[in-house]
Amino acid sequence: MSRLDNISLGKIVVIREKLLKAQKDGQKIYRFESGDPSFDVHPNVKKSIEKALKDNKTHYIPNNGIPELRETLALKLNAQNKIPVKPAHISITNGAMHALYVCYQCIVEEGDEVIVPDPMWTEAVENARLAGAKTVGVELKPEYDYVYRAQDIEAKITPKTKVIFLNSPQNPTGAIIPLVELQKIADLAVKNNLWIVADEAYEHILYDGGTHTSIASLIPAYDKVVSVYSYSKSYAMSGLRIGYFASTNELFNDRAAKLLRCTVNGINSISQWGAIHAVQDTPEEWYAEMNAEYLKRRDLFLEALKGQDVLKPYVPKAAFYLWCTVKDGIDVEKLSEELAARGLGNAPGSCFGDSHTSKQSIRLAFSCDTKMIVEGAAELTKFLKDYK
Ligand SMILES: Cc1ncc(COP(=O)(O)O)c(C=O)c1O
**Ligand 1 atom closest to the CA of 98, numbered from 1:** 11
For ligand 1, atom 2, the nearest C-alpha belongs to 201
Residues 117 and 190 in one domain: yes
**Residue-number span of the structural domain to which 337 is assigned:** 3-41+285-385
Q: Which of 13, 33, 34, 97 to mutate to test the pocket of ligand 1 (most atoms within 8 A of CB)?
A: 97
Is 48 domain-assigned? Answer: no
Q: Which of 232, 234, 351 to mutate to test the pocket of ligand 1 (most atoms within 8 A of CB)?
A: 232
pLDDT digits (tens, 9 = 90+) for 314-361: 999 999 999 999 999 999 999 999 999 999 999 999 999 999 999 999
Is 303 domain-assigned? Answer: yes
What's the predicted TM-score (pTM) here?
Answer: 0.97
Residues 329 and 259 in one domain: no
Of the residues 281, 312, 338, which one is the last residue of a structural domain? 281
Mean pLDDT over residues 34-63, rounded?
A: 95
Is 148 domain-assigned? Answer: yes
Residues 230 and 247 in one domain: yes
Strands 161-167 and 113-118, by their bridges, are parallel
Distance CA 142, CA 335 (A): 20
Label residue 1 by pLDDT band (50, 70, 90). confident
The pLDDT value given to residue 366: 97
Angle, CA of 314, 316 and 322, to the nearest 5°:
65
Is-cis flag, bond preceding 119, omega within 30?
A: yes
Residues 137 and 270 in one domain: yes
**Ligand 1 atom closest to the CA of 243, numbered from 1:** 10
In this structure, the number of other CB atoms found within 10 A of the CB of residue 280 comes to 13
Label residue 154 by pLDDT band (50, 70, 90). very high
238 in contact with ligand 1, CB cutoff 6 A = yes
Helix, strand, or coil (residue 271):
helix
Between the CA of 73 and the centroid of ligand 1 the distance, in Å, is 18
199 in contact with ligand 1, CB cutoff 6 A = yes
